[in-house]
Amino acid sequence: MQEQIIQQGAEAILIKKGEELIKRRVKKGYRISELDEKLRKSRTRKEFKLLEKARNLIDVPSVKKVSDKEMEIDMEFIEGEKLSDNLDNLENWRGVCLQIGENIAKLHDAGIIHGDLTTSNMIWKEQGKKVYFIDFGLGFFSDRVEDKAVDLHLIKEALEAKHFKNFENYFKTILQGYKISKNYKEILRRLERVERRGRYKEQY
Ligand SMILES: Nc1ncnc2c1ncn2[C@@H]1O[C@H](COP(=O)(O)OP(=O)(O)O)[C@@H](O)[C@H]1O
Ligand SMILES: [Mg+2]
């Protein structure tokens, strides 16, 4: 079957093979090989676990196979558009942002921190009008309010960097979606603190 390299990132190579997407963590030359192998193995496993748990909550690619030896995850290829490329062109950005906020709330309520919430890690599928979250490579399990607030802070910063024209509206709408979280108020209060800390750091 024809294989096509989608991306050769810092951590992984992504290959499209028919309807599947292979995410293979490749060796990093500068790391001691034993450590390198350990890290790649644990990250592959962790990403797999997070994907499996998230799958019961929101739209994520389904995992076909995970291999410790090859350090790769074979998953469903999501046919759609990356939100980093097309959020600014979507008439229905409001609905999309609401869904993003709801997705984050569902993950957080189940103790999943995505860790890399950017629009590059979200795929919009027009058919069914769904936002898929991908790339749980920096994710982890936590019930701490702080971790959830930082996760939200990250997406705000990512939006500001990538979609500066409309980022305030995007973020506001994401927070509207996030209201379904059982700890909404507490997390929002913490987010304000996280942001004050950020400003303080910039000043001094
Ligand atoms: N399941 C998938 N379906 C379609 N495209 C994907 C899928 N997983 C990853 N991609 C594409 O590959 C890119 C990199 O994948 P990602 O998991 O984000 O790796 P990285 O850790 O290198 O950022 C994504 O931005 C997306 O374009
Ligand atoms: Mg990514």
Question: Mind listing the pLDDT tens digit for each residue in 54-86?
Answer: 999 999 999 999 998 889 999 999 999 999 999
State yes or no: is 116 an active-site residue.
yes
Q: How far is the CA of 173 from the centre of ligand 1 (A)?
A: 25
Q: Are 103 and 188 contained in the same domain?
A: yes
Selected catalytic residue, list 36, 74, 109, 116: 116
Q: Are 97 and 175 contained in the same domain?
A: yes
Q: Are 39 and 128 contained in the same domain?
A: no
Q: How far is the CA of 19 from the centre of ligand 1 (A)?
A: 14
Question: Over the chain, what is the mean pLDDT?
Answer: 94
Residue pLDDT, tens place only, 174-190: 999 999 999 999 999 99
Q: Model confidence at 87, in pLDDT bands (50, 70, 90)? A: very high
Q: Determine the pLDDT at residue 61.
A: 98
| Dihedral sign from CA coordinates of 58, 62, 65, 71 | negative
| Dihedral sign from CA coordinates of 45, 47, 51, 53 | positive
Q: Are 128 and 181 contained in the same domain?
A: yes
The residue whose CA is least distant from atom 16 of ligand 1 is: 135
Cβ–ligand 1 contact at 121 (below 6 Å): yes
Cβ–ligand 1 contact at 9 (below 6 Å): yes
Q: Determine the pLDDT at residue 27.
A: 87
- What CATH number is attached to the domain comprising 166? 1.10.510.10
Number of domains in the chain: 2
Mean pLDDT over 118-143 rounds to 96
Residue 143 in tokens: 């019930």
